[in-house]
Amino acid sequence: MFNKRSRLQTSLILILGMILLLACSFGGSDDEAQALKDQVSALETQNAILKEQGVVASAPESPAAEAGGVDAPPPPSSDAAPEVEIAEPAVESLPTGPVAAGMPIVYDGWSLTVSKEIHIDTSEDDWGPIIFIRNQGDTKRVFRFKNSGVTAKDDLGNVYDPSFGLCEDIYHQVKNLEVDAGKSVEFRAGSGGVCKGPRGINIFDGVIPLEASQLIIHFEDFGPYSGVDVVIDL
């Protein structure tokens, strides 16, 4: 209250001083000029008394404070560091080394998984891997492959030849397998009509020796998978 009163008196002193100067400049009467001087002098005296009593006008408050509000904090500087660091997305790439069976290999919108189990045809002494392909996209896609894209060997260095049966003529033929969005497809290893089917691959000929501890399934031009080795522990 006293601060506002003191500021008001200071403003009146300034206004009356200006009026006094204008009156003198435009030839006002001596009585009028003297009256203005007396008023200015009285206000100056009263203001000096207020200052001596410790009632000194403070710095003007912000419009928000005078209105009863709260001052907002200053905006952050333009070079302020972000609270959360955004990591760059990882780039998909094919594995550079062997992958354990049962582990999905995700690449180019597909997921390739070789089962830890193998299919064995005891009547023919043949065997084949169990392979799953999953379409990771949200639309139907075509998986392109060849039967010749899947080969096998063991950790002893034995290479297993495909059992052709009726499939020799289509061994290098490109197959186009449609896979619905989010769906998985199992490839079947066999001879005769099985390997001719849209999901068929060649079964391998020969008995796996007891001394072998691993089978290595190699993929080449099997969809987007090339140069990929998957190891099945026996």
Taking only the tens place, the pLDDT of each residue in 37-81 is: 666 566 666 666 655 655 444 444 545 445 555 555 666 555 554
Instruction: Say if residues 147 and 200 touch (Cβ distance below 8 Å).
Output: yes
- State the Cα–Cα distance between residues 223 and 108, nearest whole angstrom: 9
Mean pLDDT, the chain, rounded, equals 79
**Model pTM?**
0.61
| Pairing relationship of beta strands 228-233 and 200-205 according to DSSP bridges | unpaired
For residue 22, what pLDDT is reported? Answer: 54
- State the Cα–Cα distance between residues 100 and 92, nearest whole angstrom: 18
- State the Cα–Cα distance between residues 166 and 163, nearest whole angstrom: 9
Question: 169, 165, 161: which is closest to 206 by C-alpha?
Answer: 161
162 band by pLDDT with thresholds 50, 70 and 90: very high
**Tokens 């495909």 belong to residue:** 162
